[in-house]
Structure 1
Amino acid sequence: MLRLYFFIGLMCLVKSDTHETCPSFTRLSFHSAVVGTGLNVKLMLYTRRNRTCAQAVNSTFLGNLNMTKKTTFIIHGFRPTGSPPVWMEDLVQGLLDVEDMNVIVVDWNRGATTIIYSHASSKTRKVAVVLKAFIDQMLVQGASLDDIYMIGVSLGAHIAGFVGKMYNGQLGRITGLDPAGPLFNGRPPEDRLDPGDAQFVDVIHSDIDALGYKEPLGNIDFYPNGGLDQPGCPKTILGGLQYFKCDHQRSVYLYLSSLRENCSITAYPCDSYRDYRNGKCINCGIPQKESCPLLGYYADNWKEYLKQKDPPMTKAFFDTAEKEPYCRATLIKEVLDQWVSLLLWSHVWQPRVCCLPGPSEASAWVLMGHEMATLGLTLFLHRTNISLSLHALLCKSEREIANLAVMVGSPSSQSIIDLGKQRVGRKNNSLNT
């Protein structure tokens, strides 16, 4: 019996040591959501030196935090089931991949876990106070507000805003990923995320008709697919839980796509999604950071350009694919008399020339320039000239491009075409969806 007690005690000690050595995100049950939890904020530090084993830090122990590097806080939102966010690990690792920085996961699951949304939202300012105390100590140790970056998801976006307000908007940057709408819609700036909460605030709105905030909240507000129903998400309640959370979470996955080398999503500043779809907002210049911004991590490349605007705010629209990495080749069709022009601006990393096979009655060539140049394709079909400016990845779909024909529309018309959705019937020269 004594041996049994010793074994149990040893196991408890081992578990305790493991927990202290590599703290993990708080995992709660649905029972906790029903009965409720008190607020407890846990901060976990990740760096390139400890990518897989977090270090617990707080306002009295900053651990291995490097004050000379950027520090990025990741703040989650409402957790009605108590489970950890499924995207958290990918976001931590993705950030460390693109830059040598401090990444701090703000775990306020004890507080966010409840079936009563208002209980969670009421704790957001308290979480912000905890974060301010921590940042104050960072500043004492030599950190700069310029190097503080906060990524807030849903309620977490407003928490980031509250922290920013306490520093009079001097934080380096805040990214809001579909900031929560319920109980925040229509509130004054002091009660929600606002463009003045940091030196640069960018927001991705992916569920404006349900869980997200509809109106602009940042210096630049991105609206993928108009900010409404996202491609690939369930359209009916038969989709189960995904019907409720897929659109809302898409903002996170779109941001994640910006951390990967195979996907750079260009957005188009525009007054409305309708104007964007009608091709009224596609005049991107060179270089891109002074024209059309990239979504996600590199959106702040557009910050200096925004300062030239009064006020320094804009909305930007784009379309995505249904699955990761969500990049989609979008063509802008412009018809002038008998000329059809299709354009897309994006990154082109390596100069090259592609010769594409074409139908017997057509000749085709592709010329690709260096970074941020255009890739052009010209097909001559029965006196109709078709000029294309495409993303480099389209070169791998040579057969599709070579067989492309476009119906000549009415003069001076312009619209958006999604490559891959549009198909051409060569017999009648009409577009088939």
Structure 2
Amino acid sequence: MSRTHTPVLLCVLTVCITSLVLAGTDEAQSDDECADLNNYTFLEYRQQRGKVQVQYLLLTRRNMDCAERFRHESLSETQQPPTNFNISRPTKVIIHGFRITGSRPTWVRLLARTLLEAQDVNVLVVDWIYGASFAYNQVVENYKEAALQISVLINQLQEHGCKLQSFHFIGISLGAHVAGFVGTLFEGKIGRITGLDVAGPLFKGADTYDRLDPSDALFVEAIHTDSDYFGISISVGHVDFFLNGGKDQTGCARSRFSSVFSYVLCDHMRAIYVYMSALNGSCPLVGVPCFSYEDFLQGRCLTCDAFNGKCPTIGLSENSGISISPLPKEQKLFLLTTSSSPFCTHQILLQVEVSPLDKSAEVEVTLVTENQGTEQKLPLRKDTTVYSVVMSHPFALCEINSMKIKNTGNRFYRQGDIHVKSVCLSEIPSQSREEPLCVNNIDIRRGAPWSHDFVQVCDSS
């Protein structure tokens, strides 16, 4: 990112990321009622100027709908009522990012509930804020204080028998760097850190001591969805999932007439909702290792041989399903998603070989399943005869009923026939047992679309 864009971006951050903020103090609510994320008034913000305030909300399967305010003293045998925290269970620690208002985002409780539905664990929501600062850069300068306070609690929990390996930190945006610094303080012995669209501004060029990196936990993963604005564009974990290239997400508005909220935050927030969807386990979100998104889209990365054939997945499986040792570092993984939950799609590799052309041309390939079609335009050049592109299709390869091809070349001059030597479809990551669907020797005339029906049955095994 250029230096000229930084002040503008920080200004936008200050104005727009209100939904990612959770503020808190210990005095806001009594202990005899459900604890909640605090929403300071402006005067209350001013009273906290220059101070980092941290509180902890505990949710378990015993109190999923009524959060308990949690302190170290909560583990005392004399504490009444007794805490729901179970030392023998793993603990998920959710750390939000920067915010400047008192809104209470619904996604915090949704994420906590989804975690509890997936596993019987303790969920600690870290509710933190830096004074009355309305400037992102001032909060960044003081985020380590929040990490220090969190580390004190972790130390106290260790004294009661909790193991560092049992902690899984889930940091959102700036919260991912807070989690990373907690990991640094414990010399990387924390079990796991998940960064959800890790904050980028003021961190991309930072030393690893000051930002999330693979040394901060036994396993560090990151999900990137807005790396061209609020998120970070570099790899920061053992594995980094770049959804749709990590920048523009499907379904997020790209019009100047769209609201500031939807334009600025949709990409950034997508990481949270994709992660929650993955926790539900309704369909796998699988990353394919590749050098770049462009290489991935051009079909140059088809397998997960680097992981002994088993691709990493987003979710709660140990080390994202990675079994190789030692673990990789800063491994980029790419995958396509849809615009809504459960976000899963099938990645279909389209490979086309044509006879040499006298003029540039274009064909449109449509995959059809149950009357749902996915279109892909493929520009053809005079100097190239073989083309590959990865398409997103809502159904598996074995469920594709038909394929259509149209000659959609330039309307201002007569486009000649296009001879297609072969067109093949295969699903990635590729399965060795699955043969590609291929059709050979096709003549595509302008104004005369070609179609071919497939008769196939999915293997139930």
Matched, 1:24 2:36: yes
Per-residue Cα deviation, 1:106-128 (whole angstroms, up to 9, x for no partner): 011x3287431122222311111
For 2:120 and 2:447, locate their aligned partners in 1 and report how far apart those are by CA, in whole Å: 52
2:110 partner letter: D
Q: Which runs of 5+ in 1 are unaligned?
A: 1-15, 339-355, 359-389, 418-423
Could you tell me whether the CA contact under 8 Å between 2:290 and 2:296 is conserved in 1? yes
Give the 3-state SS of the residue equivalent to 1:87 in structure 2: helix
One-letter amino acid of the structure 1 residue matched with residue 316 of structure 2: Y
The normalised TM-score by structure 1 is 0.73
Name the CA distance, whole Å, in 2 between partners of 1:283 and 1:292: 8
Residues 404 and 449 of structure 2 are in contact (CA less than 8 Å); yes or no, is this contact kept in structure 1? no
Going from structure 1 to structure 2, the CA distance change for 1:322 and 1:299 (only over 3 Å counts) comes to farther
Give 1:326's aligned residue: 343
- Inter-CA distance 234–112: structure 2 relative to 1 (3 Å threshold): farther
Q: Which residue of 1 aligns with 2:459?
A: none
Distance 2:99 2:194 in 1: 20
Matches within 5 A, 1:365-380: none
Unaligned residue ranges in structure 2 (runs of 5+):
1-27, 76-82, 356-368, 372-390, 407-418, 429-443, 453-461
Taking the aligned partners of 1:221 and 1:112, their CA distance within structure 2 comes to: 33
State percent identity of aligned pairs.
35
Does the CA-based 8 Å contact 2:311-2:322 persist in structure 1? no
Alignment of 1:194 with 2:207, yes or no, is no
Instruction: Map residues 80-229 of structure 1 onto 2, 5 A cutoff.
Output: 80-108=100-128, 110-111=129-130, 114-229=133-248
Q: Which amino acid aligns with 1:58?
A: R
SS of the residue 1:207 aligns to: coil
Residue 33 of structure 1 contacts residue 82 of structure 1 at CA under 8 Å; is this kept in 2? no
Closer, same or farther in 2 for the Cα pair 1:127/1:303, shift >3 Å? farther
Supply the distance in 2 between the matched residues of 1:414 and 1:71 (Cα, whole angstroms). 44
Q: Describe the shift of the 1:163–1:402 C-alpha distance in structure 2 as closer, same or farther (beyond 3 A).
A: same
2:312 is matched with 293
C-alpha displacement at 1:326, in angstroms? Answer: 1.2
Q: How does 1:57-96 map to 2 (within 5 A)?
A: 57-62=70-75, 63-96=83-116
Q: Secondary structure at the match of 1:80?
A: coil
The residue aligned with 2:59 is 46
Instruction: Tell me: CA distance 1:412–1:122, structure 2 relative to 1, closer, same or farther (3 Å).
Output: same
Contact 2:349-2:426 within 8 A present in 1 as well: yes
Deviations 1:337-375 (A, max 9, x none): 99xxxxxxxxxxxxxxxxx999xxxxxxxxxxxxxxxxx
Query: Counterpart in 2 of 1:342?
Result: none
TM-score w.r.t. structure 2 length?
0.69
1:152–1:24: structure 2 CA closer, same or farther, 3 Å change rule? same
Alpha carbons of 1:416 and 1:129: their partners in 2 closer, same or farther (altered >3 Å)?
same
Whichever residue aligns with residue 429 of structure 1, its letter is: W
Partner residue, 2:298: 278
Partner of 1:404: 403
Contact 1:333 1:415 in 2 (8 A): yes
RMSD: 3.7
Query: Which whole-Å CA distance do the structure 1 matches of 2:62 and 2:100 have between them?
Result: 33
The separation in 1 between residues aligned to 2:160 and 2:319, in whole angstroms, is 26
| Conserved? CA contact 1:32–1:114, under 8 Å | no
Structure number having the greater helix percentage: 1
Once residues 208 and 397 of structure 2 are traced to their aligned partners in structure 1, the CA distance between those partners, rounded to angstroms, is: 47
1:148 is displaced (CA, Å) by: 0.5
Tell me how far apart the structure 2 counterparts of residues 112 and 296 of structure 1 sit (CA, whole Å): 34
Give the aligned partner of residue 304 of structure 1.
323
Distance 2:155 2:265 in 1: 35
Q: Is the 8 A contact 1:258 1:298 kept in 2?
A: no
Is the alpha carbon distance of 1:112 and 1:209 closer, same or farther for their aligned partners in structure 2, counting shifts above 3 Å?
Answer: farther
Task: State the AA in 2 paired with 1:24.
Answer: D
Per the alignment, residue 269 of structure 2 pairs with 249
Counterpart amino acid of residue 243 in structure 2:
P
Residue of structure 2 equivalent to 1:347: none
Deviation at 1:428, TM superposition (A): 2.4
Cross-structure match for 1:394 = 395
CA drift at 1:293:
1.2
Q: For residues 357 and 74 of structure 1, what CA distance do their matches in structure 2 show?
A: 41
Q: Is the partner of 1:21 in helix, strand or coil?
A: coil
